[in-house]
Structure 1
Amino acid sequence: MRPPIRLAALGLGLATAAAVVIVGGRTADLAVVRESPGRGVSGTGPNAAGPLGLEVTQRGYSLRLSAPTAPFGPTTLRFQLLGPDRRPVAAHGSGQQSEPHVFLVQRDMTGYQHRHPARDATGTWSAPVELHSGTYRVLVEFHPAGEAASLTLGADLIVSGSAHPGLLPEPARDVMVGDCSVSMGGTLTAGTVSRLSFDVRRGDRRVPDPGSYLGATGHLVILRVGDLAAVDVRRVRSGLTFDAAVPSAGTYRLFLDFQKGNADRTAEYTAVVG
């Protein structure tokens, strides 16, 4: 049996006005949930999927950023999703849960953002983002019309200026996010499906039903440190419980998006899988 992972957490508020560059999901997120309306990044399912988001083209579909570079500061991320015929494609179905999710994070795992982009008449998607110097990984999770499974595609975005890489936080299971404490239960094990659950409390009282975040109770995104590969994640029932299929040993970052009141929040964890 493999040893359980050590978990480290750092809670950060996700500013509502800040924009995101990371890849997103639709009926699931980076580490997505498929069995229920939750989201995370996902492929065909946690039992079979390997690392996601390492390719800019997969199954004939491609992610094309409007530019490979971007200026420092607030800006708009624009991209197209191209089909096998090299023409822009639409998402599957209708409604918010059918639209792509975009996630952005820097190579040192800082600056995480999650956005729900808008599509114009030309088939170009856009979302507001707040960028700092360095290289970001842009991940887009979407479900092409007519396809049985969703895709997660990734591309790098370079922001001008001098970057100063940060250090990952030390392992811990509890994190403060504003006036809420968020505790993580469960362990991640390489090569199998692991179940994680999260408990949100304010003082001594549990928050029984966090508000909807982009159409779901919560979103969990898991990225591997180094190549920023996304892990297939699925929410297994209402609330903040997820199944994640970690493909290999290594260090991972976990980003749990949820809503408290009218504010979007993100709890961030570091997991070391032996």
Structure 2
Amino acid sequence: MSVSTRSITRPTTRPTTRRRTLAAAATGAVLALVLAACGSSSTAPARPGTGHGGSAAASAPSGPMPSTGDGMDGMDGMPGMGIPAGNGLAAEQDGYRLDSTIATLPAGQAVSYRFTVAGPDGRPVTDFAVDQTKPMHFYAIRADLTGYQHVHPVPAADGTWSVDLAALQAGTWRLYASFTPDSGPGKGTDHVLSRTVTVPGRATDTPLPAAAPSTTVDGYTVTVQGEPMAGMAHPLTVTITKDGRPVTDLQPYLDTYAHISAFHEGDQAFAHLHPETRVDGDHGGPVLAFHAELATSGNWRTFLQFQTAGQLHTAALTLHVA
């Protein structure tokens, strides 16, 4: 599978179930991220809105939007604001806008977040393409890059989405909605939009763990190998073992053997990557091949999700782009 940076639009003709091409990944002490198609599909064109090598910039909202508590809505992704354009940090792009009247969420308890995606006509979008078995993917991360959640909202007929989030710690959280309209002027164009919410209380930041090539979760060891550099496309591999033995029973999770989501330290820029390894039943692994590129240097907190025996595992690593 080749990977290309997310650029402008995808063709309007494609399978009912797409393979998301957001970017992410890493290696040893070096990380590079780019969009890649899911393992069981052919490579798809890159997407706008993830800030990976393309020139597409997020546009500013055209009108007042509900406050999300950080004072930055309407400026996310704009040049000159110290935030890279088009990498999931904008609340509005290409006429599509992530709207919510919720500016705060309670701490320490499961909560529901409600939002809509307004289209170029200003009305809530109700027709979305299915991507990796879901019409919408939703991510949450705290400002210190802790508390990662990847969940799937439920739509109502009027275009309102509801998503259940696990208990949140006090602090500022960024919430990302990843979707593709299936009709209208934006049909076939992938978007990642985000807003922030405040969780009241005394917020204590957790220092970002040091960069490392491997980590363990639930008894599994995840190791990233390769030497990609920022702005250059390079292959990399993820190897999964348990008790020193290769893992060969990875199960498909949302149509692929692994999901990598990554968040850039400081601005929370978002990237997402899937392996090029083809899905072939419940015996994936131990090695998953990726191809990655990202022009942005710095530390990234990377979350790799994979499934065995019906259980989802999330391995977290800090990786660095030179």
Residue in structure 2 matched with residue 61 of structure 1 by the alignment? 96
TM superposition score normalised by structure 1: 0.80
Distance 1:64 1:189, change over 3 A: same
Gapped runs of 5+ residues in structure 1? 1-24
Structure having the higher strand fraction is 1
User: Which structure has the larger Rg?
Assistant: 2
Residue in structure 2 matched with residue 6 of structure 1 by the alignment? none
Contact in 1 for aligned 2:256/2:274 (Cα 8 Å)? no
Contact in 2 for aligned 1:190/1:246 (Cα 8 Å)? yes
Residue in structure 1 matched with residue 174 of structure 2 by the alignment? 137
- 1:97 pairs with 117, 133, 137, which one? 133
Q: Secondary structure of 1:253's partner?
A: strand
The aligned runs of 1:114-193 (5 Å cut-off) are 114-130=150-166, 131-146=168-183, 147-193=187-233
Q: Secondary structure of 2:276's partner?
A: strand
Is 1:272 aligned to 2:320, yes or no? yes
Residue in structure 1 matched with residue 147 of structure 2 by the alignment? 111
The aligned runs of 1:1-274 (5 Å cut-off) are 27-28=20-21, 31=24, 32-34=35-37, 36-37=39-40, 43-44=47-48, 48=54, 51-72=86-107, 73-94=109-130, 97-130=133-166, 131-146=168-183, 147-231=187-271, 233-238=273-278, 240-274=288-322
Q: Give the whole-Å Cα distance in 1 for the aligned partners of 2:137 and 2:91.
A: 15
**How many residue pairs end up in the alignment?**
248
Q: Give the whole-Å Cα distance in 2 for the aligned partners of 1:269 and 1:185.
A: 13
Gapped runs of 5+ residues in structure 2? 1-17, 25-34, 56-84, 279-283
Question: 1:220-253: per-residue Cα shift (whole Å, max 9, x none)?
Answer: 1121111111136353333633333312221111
Q: Give the whole-Å Cα distance in 2 for the aligned partners of 1:273 and 1:101.
A: 26
Residue in structure 2 matched with residue 17 of structure 1 by the alignment? none
Distance 1:30 1:81, change over 3 A: farther
| Range moving further from structure 2, 187-196 or 254-263 | 187-196
* Relative contact order, higher structure (CA 8 A, sep 6+): 1
| % same residue | 30
Q: Secondary structure of 1:246's partner?
A: coil
Contact in 1 for aligned 2:38/2:256 (Cα 8 Å)? no
Contact in 2 for aligned 1:117/1:125 (Cα 8 Å)? yes
Contact in 1 for aligned 2:22/2:271 (Cα 8 Å)? no
| Range moving further from structure 2, 113-122 or 209-218 | 209-218
Q: Secondary structure of 1:208's partner?
A: coil
CA RMSD of the aligned region, Å? 2.6
Contact in 2 for aligned 1:195/1:244 (Cα 8 Å)? yes
